[in-house]
Amino acid sequence: MAERLTRDDVLKVARLARLHLTEEEVERFTGQLAAVLEHAADLAALDLHDVPPTARPVPLVNVLRADEPRPCLDRDEVLAEAPAAEDGRFRVPPILGEAP
């Protein structure tokens, strides 16, 4: 079972989630999240190895649609909401790494 949530855990998780935290926030969040996770420890104590997980409460399978084209959005309407656009594309600052 995982140990109590640490500062380092919070920093690592904030990085994964692309969030900057102030020092004060790191302290505060570490305490608050650790308290919530302690309740999660009650769950961990249960022996549920033969209970299947439920991913969603609706017993549907095979929801499929026909391979038929539908109308696309008007590009102007899409780009009107873009923070920055150029040449019909979304403009962003330089990307430093390749896609994983």
Query: In the range 53-92, which residues lie near other proteins by CB under 8 A?
Result: 53-58, 60-75, 77-84, 86-92
Q: Encoding tokens for residue 90? A: 């979304």
C-alpha neighbours within 13 Å on the C-beta side of residue 64: 4
98 binds other proteins (CB under 8 A): yes
**Least CB distance to other proteins at residue 23 (A):** 14
**Least CB distance to other proteins at residue 77 (A):** 5
Candidates 5, 6, 7, 8: give the one binding other proteins (CB under 8 A).
Answer: 5
**Least CB distance to other proteins at residue 47 (A):** 10
**Least CB distance to other proteins at residue 49 (A):** 9
Contact status, residue 60 vs residue 54, Cβ threshold 8 Å:
no
Q: What is the contact mask toward other proteins in residues 9 to 48, using x (rule: CB under 8 A)?
A: xx-xxxxxxxxxx---x---x--xx-xxx-xx-xxx-x-x
Burial of 10 (0-12, 13-18, 19+ CB in 10 A): buried
CB count within 10 Å of CB 15 equals: 11
Cα–Cα distance for residue pair 45/58, rounded to 1 Å:
27
